[in-house]
């Protein structure tokens, strides 16, 4: 399920927020935010100390995102290898008790969002049911 992104001011995020225009619509001429633009355009604040801290935090977020992507890809590849090995030896495509254990682990650690995350991880490793 997709949800609309809402900017801090309450309006929907659109091409000016870095999203592609809706199919068939004419994109507005909105300049992209680039390095060298005022701090407020990049960070949402004009206060220099806060802007610098936001930039620093975002750099760490980007590092975490890169690590998450790499781990996601590694996990999916390993899960695919497990499935292929199991099926090549005459086993089943899925082991539902293992999937239930993973769903429960993520639910306990992260709540309902953890369940959704676990479902995505499982699908990445085994494909859709």
Burial of 118 (0-12, 13-18, 19+ CB in 10 A): buried
Domains of the chain, CATH where assigned = 41-126 (1.20.59.10)
As a whole number of angstroms, the longest Cα–Cα distance in the chain is 64
pTM (whole model) above 0.85: no
Residue 71 has pLDDT above 70, yes or no: yes
d(CA 62, CA 44): 18
- CA-nearest of 45, 59, 47, 58 to 8 is 45
Residue 15 has pLDDT above 60, yes or no: no
pLDDT for the residue numbered 41: 85
Average confidence score pLDDT of the chain = 80
Burial of 93 (0-12, 13-18, 19+ CB in 10 A): exposed
pLDDT for the residue numbered 30: 40
pLDDT for the residue numbered 63: 98
Burial of 66 (0-12, 13-18, 19+ CB in 10 A): exposed
Residue 105 has pLDDT above 50, yes or no: yes
Which structure tokens are listed for 58?
Answer: 């975002």
């Amino acid at each position: 399920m997709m949800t609309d992104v809402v900017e801090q001011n309450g309006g929907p995020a659109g091409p000016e927020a870095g999203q592609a225009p809706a199919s068939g619509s004419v994109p507005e001429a909105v300049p992209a935010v680039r390095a060298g633009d005022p701090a407020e355009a990049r960070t949402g604040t004009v206060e220099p100390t806060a802007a610098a801290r936001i930039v620093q935090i975002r750099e760490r977020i980007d590092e975490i995102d890169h690590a998450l992507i790499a781990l996601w890809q590694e996990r999916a590849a390993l899960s695919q290898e497990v499935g292929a090995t199991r099926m090549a030896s005459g086993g089943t495509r899925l082991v539902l008790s293992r999937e239930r254990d993973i769903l429960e682990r993520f639910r306990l650690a992260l709540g309902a969002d953890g369940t959704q995350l676990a479902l995505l991880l499982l699908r990445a490793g085994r494909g859709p049911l």
